[in-house]
Structure 1
Amino acid sequence: MADVPVETAEADVVVVGAGLSGLTAASRLYQRGLSVRVLEADNRVGGRTCDLDVGDGLVTEGGGQWIGARHERVLGLLGELGLSTFGTHTAGDSIYLRRGTRRTFSGAIPPMTLLAKLDFAQAQHRLERMAGQVPAAAPWTATHAVEWDSITLGYWLDEHCHTDESKHLFTLGFTLMYCEDPHRISLLKVLHQIATSGGIEYMFSTEGGAQESRIVGGATRPSTVLAERLGERLVLGSPVTAIEQGSDGVLVRSTRIDVRCRRVVVAMTPADVDRITFAPALPVRRAALQRVWHNGTESKLFAVYRRPFWREQGLDGSAMTDLPVAHYVMDNSPPDGSVGILVTFIGTAGAGPGLTWSDDLLDEPAAREKALVADLVTLFGPEAAHPLQVLEQSWVDEPWIAGCVSTRAPGVLTGYTDAATRPVDRVHWAGTEAAPQFEGYLEGAVRAAERAVDEIVAAAR
């Protein structure tokens, strides 16, 4: 059979990647009067937002999902799209289980021992103080940048947390945030995140913090609405294979369509960009960054029940524990509570005591489901023993996305400085990893898109 000829087209700008950042960039460019084409490798939009069907037209969020009041750009985008948010469920007490002792508490601070509370406070103060010395726009220029980028957050916690309890809570919080063992994350990266994402308390908190709200209809809704508005300007199932720059423009080659354009926005993690061939070749610093880049390995597990029965017990559905699977649990039910959904996060093997996975849990879905239900029974009682279904979104199994939230290993920030954001001639970078603030959040995805659009508009003047 003869090969099917590849379609050809022209546009002012090609956007590679139809996640929230790429689609926001395309929308903003179109609003500025530029013609656009969006090329997406997958057969769906949304990137690292991914809604899972739980039946009866309801979904739960398999990827990024939470929004805080300081996330002004994404809230503004939702307003433009006619979408709304609802508050993460926080009414009731939370559960704190450590070393077999289960206690409930209200407010944001779990019932740690007094010594652990003091230890947590001193470590938080030190981290915040160091973060205040990290320039937001260029963290590699901080006075202690080389020192802080030569060690991991995990090493720092080992050295400066004097109680196992406070160290466990810091490890739990940062592991969830970065989907990675803190012993693999640069301390400088974490300090920069603290400086640009509202501080530790905001980053860790639900009520009044970064996990305060969710999007009605699921976290993929903004992407689907943007995609509907773009119409035929969006091409799905067409992985970009090459980006060829010349003196008069760029040729973007993909499996279904080749597009000639003036500028390109690549809205992918650096690790995923390494699949694309560039001509001329990328600068060594950018190419090397893509090779050393690492995305977190965490997945999300959901237990779906007929109703959120824990609310009848006066509980908000959240828990912090040292159990085998359910280290951190939240109520992920729909806004009307028509079904009950509890979510936890798995897959960060080796993160420390209470956060280390046995081989059977890592390799066998049935074992993970059984262990999750057992943990939920420990936390919420016998009613948790019979979920309608257990769902899992595994980001390491995605064909076009190399893991979920990105991190930086020691040496990456000081070794590659601004290579994640600096344009390469006519190629500009988006995706939440290229955000000036709130990197890793939905907010960061929108901010990175708007930054790339501003670069393109400025270049055209």
Structure 2
Amino acid sequence: MTTTKPAQLTADVAVVGAGLSGLVAARRLVRQGHSVVVLEADDRAGGRLYNLDAGDGVISEGGGQWVGKLHTRMFELLEELGLKTFPTHTEGKTIYLRRGKRRTYGGTIPPLGPVALLDFAQAQFRLERMAATVPAEVPWRARKATEWDSTTLGYWLDKHCRSAEARHLFELGLSLVFAESSSQVSLLKALHQIGTSGGVEFMMNTADGAQETRVAGGTQAVADAIAAELGDRVRLGSPVTSIEQDSRGALVRSAGAEVRCGRVIVAMTPGDAAWIDFLPPLPTRRAKLQRVWRNGGERKVCLVYRRPFWREQGLNGSAVTDLPIAHYVVDNSPPDGSKGILLAFIGTAASGGFHWDDTILDDKDARRDAFVKDLVELFGPQARDFEQYLEKSWIAEPWISGVAGLRTPGVLTNYTDATTAAVGRVHWAGAETSAEFESYMEGAVRAAERAVAEVVAQGVDVPR
């Protein structure tokens, strides 16, 4: 048996990870005149940007997909790349179904009962008032940081929501942000996210919210455009095994290449970076952070139809429910309506009254059948007549452990700035390292910009 010897390369900067943050960092560096090599473990670039093929040239995003008006860096990037956007479809009525009662409504606020509506408003006011006291760059220095980081968002909601309906709506909206039950998320982390991501309404809404806009061709097109611009600087199928550094430079070893460089940007979640050996060893706080880090895991599921038949009923394809699978449904059809696509999310744990058995969690056919059943209840028997079922699971990815940094209690106050603090010549990027819009595509871009600024400020002296 013959083995291929890794290519021996030299660059100013090695970027580990070709997700959105790593690609943006590499592109920024190249445009500033630096030589770059990007090492990616997978056989494609894009990380958590992933298109699903719905047939006839139509796609549905399997990963990150929405951009809101506050996501200014993303809009700037899309303009630079020449990519077009279009609004998420909202024309028509939204379905609200709870405890078997189905209603439709216009606008952004579900038809909650008066008690639930007031309850939601008071809890939102309290959360946003607390969030305003959490410093964006140093949330662990908030006056009540220790108290808030010792409990969960779910516990706080249980204590302060008087109505089950309001509690359910918070669980639905915020668990989508963290891809996990609110019972797993530090209250301090949730407050920081609310304060730095536009507030509760922006995070949860489509119109004038974080889900307002989509990218023509899907967000995989963003990664593909940057990767094409970078060309052979991107090395796929090259999982990094070790990073060695000393006063002269760094050596990054991977399956496909060994790169001698002046600086390294690791654009991965802290949990995924734990697979890399660092020499000398990482500082204790960073090493422990990588061991305790968790990302939320979920699946995006889609049913593809010949046309968006629900629009003929005056519906916009959106639904907010307490059904087993279709808690939150959105119309993910292409802008010309040439196919109809309904999308929902399936997490990994029961929460807020959502309960799944192991069959649904572990069997694709069971998930499809359960999803169809829910959509029939929402949209009628036409929902049975689908062309194909698509899903993307972020639970069992070999190189990516989940989709959103949720930060369990104690992580922020115990490990403080270990997420972003450079270790010698190693700098950290990735959506989870952004002080604003963490875990959003906007956060990925901002994290890349910060890491590049650090590298440029420190200077790049390549070992020769």
Q: Deviations over 1:167-196 (max 9, x none)?
A: 000001111111001001000000000111
Counterpart of 2:251? 251
Counterpart of 1:378? 377
Counterpart of 2:287? 287
Alpha-carbon shift at residue 343 of structure 1 (Å): 0.3
Distance in 1 separating the partners of 2:432 and 2:125:
26
Distance in 2 separating the partners of 1:97 and 1:323:
8
Counterpart of 1:438? 437
**Matched residue of 2:395: which SS?**
helix
Distance in 1 separating the partners of 2:430 and 2:455:
16
Counterpart of 2:340? 340
- Which range moves more in the overlay, 52-61 or 152-161? 52-61
Distance in 2 separating the partners of 1:325 and 1:350:
11
Counterpart of 1:160? 160
The two structures have a TM-score, normalised by structure 2, of 0.98
Counterpart of 1:208? 208
**Matched residue of 2:418: which SS?**
coil
Distance in 1 separating the partners of 2:454 and 2:84:
30
Alpha-carbon shift at residue 297 of structure 1 (Å): 1.4
CA contact (8 A) 1:348 1:356 kept: no
Counterpart of 1:76? 76
Counterpart of 1:192? 192
Counterpart of 1:142? 142
What amino acid does structure 1 have at the position aligned with 2:340? G
Alpha-carbon shift at residue 2 of structure 1 (Å): 3.6
Counterpart of 1:15? 15
**Matched residue of 1:3: which SS?**
coil
CA contact (8 A) 2:348 2:361 kept: no
Matches within 5 A, 1:217-366: 217-353=217-353, 355-366=354-365
1:368 aligns with 2:356: no
**Matched residue of 2:419: which SS?**
coil
Note the residue ranges of structure 1 that are not aligned, 5 or more in a row.
none
Distance in 2 separating the partners of 1:22 and 1:4:
26
What amino acid does structure 2 have at the position aligned with 1:402? S
Distance in 1 separating the partners of 2:450 and 2:165:
41
Alpha-carbon shift at residue 107 of structure 1 (Å): 0.6
- Which range moves more in the overlay, 413-422 or 344-353? 344-353
Alpha-carbon shift at residue 356 of structure 1 (Å): 1.9
Distance in 1 separating the partners of 2:151 and 2:5:
52
Distance in 2 separating the partners of 1:2 and 1:389:
43
Counterpart of 1:45? 45
Distance in 2 separating the partners of 1:70 and 1:6:
43
Distance in 2 separating the partners of 1:397 and 1:55:
25
Distance in 2 separating the partners of 1:394 and 1:43:
17
Distance in 2 separating the partners of 1:440 and 1:317:
26
Distance in 2 separating the partners of 1:367 and 1:350:
17
CA contact (8 A) 1:175 1:348 kept: no
**Matched residue of 2:300: which SS?**
strand
Counterpart of 2:173? 173
Distance in 2 separating the partners of 1:387 and 1:252:
48
Distance in 2 separating the partners of 1:343 and 1:198:
24
Distance in 2 separating the partners of 1:37 and 1:161:
51
**Matched residue of 1:41: which SS?**
coil
What amino acid does structure 2 have at the position aligned with 1:116? A
Alignment: residue pair count: 460
Counterpart of 2:133? 133
Alpha-carbon shift at residue 348 of structure 1 (Å): 3.4
Distance in 1 separating the partners of 2:305 and 2:240:
41
CA contact (8 A) 1:16 1:268 kept: yes
Distance in 2 separating the partners of 1:392 and 1:349:
18
Q: Deviations over 1:130-169 (max 9, x none)?
A: 0011011100000000000000000000000000000000
CA contact (8 A) 1:420 1:434 kept: yes
Distance in 2 separating the partners of 1:58 and 1:331:
14
CA contact (8 A) 1:328 1:344 kept: yes
Q: Deviations over 1:203-227 (max 9, x none)?
A: 1110001100000000111110000
Distance in 2 separating the partners of 1:207 and 1:123:
22
What amino acid does structure 2 have at the position aligned with 1:110? P
**Matched residue of 1:419: which SS?**
helix
Alpha-carbon shift at residue 363 of structure 1 (Å): 1.5
CA contact (8 A) 2:7 2:256 kept: yes
Distance in 1 separating the partners of 2:28 and 2:454:
12
The two structures have a TM-score, normalised by structure 1, of 0.99
Q: Deviations over 1:19-39 (max 9, x none)?
A: 111000000001111000000
Q: Deviations over 1:338-369 (max 9, x none)?
A: 1000000002312121x121121111111111
What amino acid does structure 1 have at the position aligned with 2:201? E
What amino acid does structure 1 have at the position aligned with 2:317? G
Distance in 2 separating the partners of 1:57 and 1:108:
31
Counterpart of 2:4? 4
CA contact (8 A) 1:303 1:387 kept: yes
What amino acid does structure 2 have at the position aligned with 1:121? A
Q: CA RMSD in A?
A: 0.8
Distance in 2 separating the partners of 1:380 and 1:4:
55
Counterpart of 2:32? 32
Distance in 2 separating the partners of 1:48 and 1:3:
31
Distance in 1 separating the partners of 2:204 and 2:252:
41
CA contact (8 A) 2:297 2:402 kept: yes
Distance in 2 separating the partners of 1:2 and 1:91:
60
What amino acid does structure 1 have at the position aligned with 2:348? T
Distance in 1 separating the partners of 2:299 and 2:66:
16
Counterpart of 1:424? 423
Note the residue ranges of structure 2 that are not aligned, 5 or more in a row.
none
Alpha-carbon shift at residue 90 of structure 1 (Å): 0.4
Counterpart of 2:100? 100
Alpha-carbon shift at residue 4 of structure 1 (Å): 2.1
CA contact (8 A) 2:41 2:240 kept: yes
**Matched residue of 1:379: which SS?**
helix
Distance in 1 separating the partners of 2:389 and 2:142:
46
